[in-house]
């Protein structure tokens, strides 16, 4: 037999569990009051209301068995509970019923489960129900027992309880929810930091292991140049070896900058110029078209990883172009308020069709397995942008290709002056 953990249940499942218990208690209470305590109550109408409530409860369970319940659905269920409870109370004494305070339960559930607007609606519904029960009391009950002041006092006490639950409990629930959300975000950031640290350690190990063999190959190459200076194979080795040596030195300088947490201010024009230079040097077969309607005279905060992060996105765009035999990449540069927007668009086939919606949603925030890899380059780029106060979003273009939307904060004049 499967055991359901209350902590892992959804809001609608908890609501259904509480209503099941409430229906059982209502049924037993009516039977005990009528048959054991021998009090004169409207047995048949009460049983009809409980049966209708049970049918509604069963249909609700069937509807939301395989469907997620939003806030509107939960509000509808709570309003139904208020209505059923109001009808039961009206058939068993109305505002004089000792269980009239049960109208607070839907408010408590809404306080810990719903936003403030929905909570206010449920609170007003419960107040309206209690008021109707009070106003529909028979005149002889109010007159003969001379209890009108007492019933009005009970109503005022209920109103005060509603206000306390709505504002105090609701505020405390929102504080707890915000705190849990902040803790979850902190855990995600810690997990990302651990993943980045693992990647950094692995990269450093690979660099260290590659450095010695590369130095040996360089020595052998120099000997070959002395013995066979005009050989085609020896001449062909020059450029790859130089590129490997340069990349190894560049990685070491990056590691030093990251370790020392060096940051600098870079103008938008300088950033675009470096991107164009790197594009022409590494990918001469591709064309980078920059679309910029007006020049942006502002600075951004940069570190050693900003340019490699943007080049990672450009390299992904080039790979998508090559798969679709295209040779153009567009970079749209705009300023939106105090942010720099960079839209890198390729003309490939778009984000992989085999990725489901959940994988596309976390692409960049996590390493996602795909046919082309684990999304490591996008993950590292997004981490760099996030560290600099920016963000990355990947979307498919309406016509063709994919857009990598990068936003970076622009430095204000007073910030530039202080630094």
Residue 395 has a pLDDT of 85
Give pLDDT tens digits for 37-88: 877 888 899 999 999 999 999 999 999 887 788 889 999 999 999 999 999 9
SS3 38: coil
Cβ-defined contacts of 273-276 (< 8 Å, 24+)? 274/307, 275/307, 275/310, 275/311, 275/314, 275/331
C-alpha to C-alpha distance for 26 and 22, rounded to whole angstroms: 6
Output the CA–CA distances (angstroms, integers) from residue 259 to 201, 209, 252, 262, 264, in the order listed: 12, 20, 11, 8, 15
Listing DSSP states for 230-270 in one string gives T-HHHHHHHHHHHHHHHHHHHHHHHHHHHHTT-EEEEEHHH
Asked if 370 and 358 count as a contact pair (C-beta separation under 8 A), the reply is: no
Using left for φ > 0, alpha for ψ between -120 and 50, and beta otherwise, residue 112 falls in alpha
Residue 135 has a pLDDT of 85
Residue that the structure tokens 């920059």 belong to: 290
Which residues face 300 on adjacent strands? 266, 410
Residue 13 has a pLDDT of 86
Asked if 313 and 378 count as a contact pair (C-beta separation under 8 A), the reply is: yes
Query: H or E segment at 416?
Result: helix 413-418
Give which of 406, 416, 269, 417 is closest to 339, Cα–Cα: 406
Which pair of structure tokens corresponds to residue 327?
A: 């040779």
Asked if 94 and 137 count as a contact pair (C-beta separation under 8 A), the reply is: yes
Output the CA–CA distances (angstroms, integers) from residue 290 to 177, 285, 295, 333, in the order listed: 44, 16, 12, 7
Across the chain, which has 419 residues, the per-10-residue mean pLDDT values are 55 87 90 83 90 94 85 91 92 83 87 86 91 79 57 74 77 77 74 61 66 80 82 82 76 64 81 86 84 86 82 86 86 89 88 55 53 63 82 85 89 54
C-alpha to C-alpha distance for 30 and 87, rounded to whole angstroms: 14
Listing DSSP states for 351-400 in one string gives S-TTS-HHHHHHBTTB---BTTBSSHHHHHHHHHHHHTT-EEEEEE-SSS
Which pair of structure tokens corresponds to residue 214?
A: 């590369």
Residue boundaries of the structural domains of the chain: 6-138+146-188, 193-259, 263-418
Residue that the structure tokens 């020392």 belong to: 260
Residue 365 has a pLDDT of 53
Parallel, antiparallel, or unpaired for β 402-411 and 299-303? antiparallel
Residue 81 has a pLDDT of 92
Is 263-418 a CATH 3.30.565.10 domain? Answer: yes
Asked if 46 and 92 count as a contact pair (C-beta separation under 8 A), the reply is: yes
| Model-wide pTM > 0.85 | no
Using left for φ > 0, alpha for ψ between -120 and 50, and beta otherwise, residue 93 falls in left
Give pLDDT tens digits for 177-226: 778 787 777 777 666 666 556 656 666 666 667 777 877 888 888 888 88
């Amino acid at each position: 037999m499967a055991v359901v953990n209350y902590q892992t249940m959804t809001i609608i499942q908890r609501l259904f569990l509480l209503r099941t218990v409430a229906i059982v208690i209502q049924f037993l209470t009516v039977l005990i009051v009528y048959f054991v305590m021998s009090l004169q109550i409207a047995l048949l109408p009460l049983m009809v209301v409980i049966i209708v409530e049970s049918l509604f409860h069963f249909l609700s369970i069937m509807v939301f068995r395989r469907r997620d319940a939003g806030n509107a659905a939960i509000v509808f269920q709570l309003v139904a509970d208020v209505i059923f409870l109001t009808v039961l109370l009206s058939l068993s004494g109305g505002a004089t019923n000792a269980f009239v305070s049960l109208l607070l339960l839907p408010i408590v559930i809404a306080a810990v489960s719903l936003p403030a607007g929905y909570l206010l609606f449920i609170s007003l519904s419960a107040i309206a129900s209690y008021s109707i029960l009070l106003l529909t009391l028979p005149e002889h009950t109010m007159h003969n027992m001379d209890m009108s002041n007492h019933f009005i006092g009970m109503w005022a006490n209920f109103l005060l309880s509603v206000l306390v639950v709505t504002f105090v409990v609701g505020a405390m629930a929102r504080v707890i929810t915000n705190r849990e959300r902040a803790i979850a975000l902190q855990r995600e950031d810690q997990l990302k930091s651990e993943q980045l640290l693992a990647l950094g350690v692995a990269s450093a190990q690979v660099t260290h292991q590659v450095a010695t063999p590369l130095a040996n190959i360089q020595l052998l190459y120099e000997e070959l140049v002395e013995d066979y200076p005009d050989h085609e194979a020896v001449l062909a080795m020059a450029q790859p070896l130089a590129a490997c040596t340069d990349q190894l030195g560049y990685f070491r300088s990056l590691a030093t900058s990251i370790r020392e947490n060096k940051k600098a201010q870079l103008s938008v024009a300088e950033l675009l110029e470096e991107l164009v230079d790197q594009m022409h040097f590494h990918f001469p077969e591709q064309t980078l078209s920059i679309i910029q309607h007006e020049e942006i005279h502002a600075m951004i905060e940069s570190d050693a990883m900003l340019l490699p992060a943007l080049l990672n996105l450009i390299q992904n765009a080039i790979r998508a172009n090559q798969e679709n035999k295209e040779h153009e990449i567009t970079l749209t540069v705009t300023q939106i308020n105090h942010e720099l927007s960079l839209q890198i668009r390729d003309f490939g086939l778009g984000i992989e069709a085999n990725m489901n919606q959940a994988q596309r949603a976390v692409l960049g925030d996590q390493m996602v397995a795909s046919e082309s890899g684990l999304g490591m380059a996008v993950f590292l780029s997004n981490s760099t942008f996030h560290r600099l106060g920016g963000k990355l979003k990947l979307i498919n273009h309406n016509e063709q290709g994919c857009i990598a939307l990068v936003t970076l904060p622009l430095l204000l004049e007073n910030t530039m002056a202080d630094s």
